[in-house]
């Protein structure tokens, strides 16, 4: 897991505002299948938005850190029931973080 500076976090939040959630976490909470699918998605993208549905009673912040730990990604932000994660791609690096 990588530590982001506030400038990098702000930059990623700006990019994330334009993307739609590609995963939803529902009443089954964070299943191994969901974790695997999210990890798999990092093969093609570096920034992922996840939506936590109303029928999921787990804390979105806890879920965010759980997913980040299991997929070796970094939590960019959690706003309400939306989670944004970042993982730098080794092969397909598209996002150039400000230093």
Instruction: State the SS3 of 36-95.
Output: HHHHHHCCCCCEEEEEECCCCCCCHHHHHHHHHHHHCCEEEEEECCEEEEECCCCCCCCC
In the chain the domains, ranked by start, together with CATH numbers, are 6-86 (3.30.110.60)
Tens digits of per-residue pLDDT, 20-72?
A: 999 999 999 999 999 999 999 999 999 999 999 999 999 999 999 999 999 99
Lowest mean pLDDT among 8-12, 20-24, 91-95: 91-95
Model confidence band, residue 93 (pLDDT cutoffs 50, 70, 90): confident
């Amino acid at each position: 897991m990588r530590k982001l500076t506030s400038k990098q976090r702000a930059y990623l939040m700006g990019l994330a505002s334009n993307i739609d959630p590609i995963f939803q976490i529902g009443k089954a909470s964070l299943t191994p299948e969901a974790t695997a699918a999210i990890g798999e998605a990092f093969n093609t993208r570096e920034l992922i938005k996840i939506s936590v549905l109303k029928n999921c009673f787990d804390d979105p912040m806890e879920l965010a850190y759980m997913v980040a730990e299991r997929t070796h990604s970094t939590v960019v932000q959690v706003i309400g029931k939306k989670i944004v994660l970042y993982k730098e791609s080794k092969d397909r690096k598209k996002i150039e973080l400000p230093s």
